[in-house]
Copies of this chain bind each other. A is one copy, B any other.
Amino acid sequence: MPKIANIWLRSILSTIYQRGQMTRTEILQATGLNAASVSHALRYLLGTGTILKLGEIQSRGGRRSEVLKLNSDAAYFVAIDLEGTRIRIAFTNLVGDVRYRWEEDIEWGKPLEMKRIRYGVKMVLRNLRAPQRSRLVAAGISYPGIGDRQGSITAVNLGWQKVDLAGEMQEACGVPVFLEHSHRTCIIAERLVGCAQGSDNCVYVEVGQGIGASIISDGCHLAGRDRMAGELGHMVVDPDAKDRCKCGNYGCLESIASSPNVVRQYLADTKGQPHHLIGSKVGRVFERAQHGDKAALKVLDRVGSVLGIGLANLVNLLNPELIILGGDLPKGESVLLPRIKKELQRHAIRDFSEGLQIRVSSLGPDIRLMGATFLAFRNCLLYPQLLKKLCEPVIVVSSQQAVNLSGNTRTRLTAANVPIAAYREIPGNAARLERAKR
């Protein structure tokens, strides 16, 4: 077999990663590589088990075409999500499924000690079996706040000021670490497995503890000078408002529509009434509104209206085809979304709002873990050493999975009576299988 060029592997893996599953012909068209290169590379990747044959479909002209997909267990990642008031650390497979997780509530703004995160990583990693550990390739981190190019993070919700997260986590995980801002990890996930698949001009808007946006324009992240673009929360939507934002101004979108401020307004409006909402979460306000609570509906009228104005301003400036709303907002979708849409329609240029899709994120609380995994995967393709590790031979034998081994090997495996075991093929000797320690 000829030498397999990294560029072939990179193109093929990233294409299949984006599309989920593809035929050989589709891979050929999508990568633009020549047929021989694709053929060599696919044979190699099928041989190592990095991609799997899913089946065959009838293609045009009556020929049968193999459908290929990534082996979700070809590589593992540590994914870390430090957003909001709950940190999540997970061991994920190639396609972002969580295998093991460790989560902990944290107090907003109270300094989070690095040893808690290290402890979480340790808790997650101690579950690993040897074949999993051997295929742990990299870690992806979704951080809030502001990160510099060296991986130092300044984040209000964690009480951090220039904390060397990258260095600490590289040490804790024992693999290369890749960081991205949490809004961007969300849109990475939405574009790969969520409702932004195939969209090249979309915006993910997180409405939670704060409000922020991540913008995809012509298929690229809009980063800005300091890679910090997307501070939608501090857009002035009502200069005459009495709501003071944590930035010191009045009338910022966040000072009216972020989750803590929704709760604050509801509490202020219902002062004196007996209720138990103090210290509670925005979901309770949404619930009450859904049950017709007038005070809650009044607050959400205002919140929906300013969110609509904020999004209309964003739409007029960026002309996207899709807006995805995430964070706490999906919980209040039934009450908030109609109000947001009404105001957006009113203020957005008609040509822009026509055909504009507004969707609510449905990837759930693991969205940033998925995004962090995808981030790590994408970066692995860029580094030859990590790419090599991604493509190392692996055969995962499971009872549910038909295994494509030579007759001899199959017999030996069956004889050994291995129900769900991971095997590692020794390169250069396909017949010799070494039982991996689990």
Binds B, one of A133-141, A235-243, A276-284, A426-434: A235-243
Residues of B within 8 A of A320 (CB): 224-225
Q: Contacts A218-B223, A317-B213; is A240 near B240 (CB within 8 Å)?
A: yes
A396 CB, nearest partner CB in chain B, Å: 40
Closest chain B residue to A201, Cβ basis: B225
Q: Please state if B317 and A231 are interface contacts (CB–CB under 8 Å).
A: yes
Q: Does A230 contact B (CB under 8 A)?
A: yes
A356 to B215, CA, bound (A): 20
Residues from chain B with a CB closer than 8 A to the CB of A355 are 225
Chain B CB within 8 A of A33 CB? no
Contact B224–A309 (Cβ < 8 Å): no
Q: Is B349 within 8 A of A231, CB to CB?
A: yes
CA of A1 to CA of B265, assembled, Å: 78
Tell me if A318 is interfacial: C-beta within 8 Å of chain B. yes
A249 near B347: Cβ-Cβ < 8 Å: yes
CA distance A319 to B252 in the complex (A): 17
Nearest CB of chain B from residue A219's CB, rounded to whole Å = 10
A146 is an interface residue with CB less than 8 A from chain B: yes
Beta-carbon contact of B226 and A217 below 8 Å? no
Please state if A319 and B226 are interface contacts (CB–CB under 8 Å): yes
Partner of A220, one of B220, B230, B249: B220
A425 on the interface (CB 8 Å rule)? no
Instruction: Establish whether residues B319 and A234, one from each chain, have CB atoms under 8 Å apart when the complex forms.
Output: no
A175 at the interface (CB under 8 A from B): no
Contacting pair B347 A229 (CB below 8 A): no
A228 touches B (CB below 8 Å): yes
Q: Is the CB of B316 within 8 A of A234?
A: yes
Q: On chain A, which size bracket covers the interface?
A: 35 or more
CB closest chain-B residue, reference A202: B225
Contact A347-B316, Cβ < 8 Å, known A217-B223, A218-B220: no
User: Does A290 interact with chain B (Cβ within 8 Å)?
Assistant: no
Does A232 belong to the interface (CB within 8 Å)?
Answer: yes
Cβ of A86 under 8 Å from chain B: no
Q: How far is the CB of A109 from chain B (nearest CB, A)?
A: 18
Tell me which residues from 302 to 359 in chain A have a Cβ below 8 Å from any Cβ of chain B.
Answer: 309, 312-314, 316-321, 346-349, 351-352, 355-356
Which residues of B have CB within 8 Å of A415?
none
With contacts A224-B201, A319-B225, A321-B225 taken as known, whether A236 is within 8 angstroms of B237 at the C-beta atoms is: yes
Contact A317 B230 (CB under 8 A): yes
**A358 to B: closest C-beta gap in Å:** 14
Contact of A318 among B222, B233, B309 (CB under 8 A): B222
CA distance A99 to B283 in the complex (A): 67
**A232–B309 touching, CB < 8 Å:** no
Q: Are A228 and B146 in contact (CB under 8 A)?
A: no
Q: Give Cα A321–Cα B229 distance, bound, in whole angstroms.
A: 11
Q: Which residues of B contact A309 (CB under 8 A)?
A: 236, 239
Given contacts A236-B309, A236-B347, A316-B234, contact A222 B224 (CB under 8 A): no
- A/B interface sample: 18 pairs, CB < 8 A: A146-B351, A201-B225, A215-B317, A217-B224, A218-B223, A222-B318, A223-B319, A224-B352, A225-B356, A226-B351, A227-B319, A228-B351, A230-B317, A231-B317, A234-B349, A247-B349, A252-B347, A317-B317
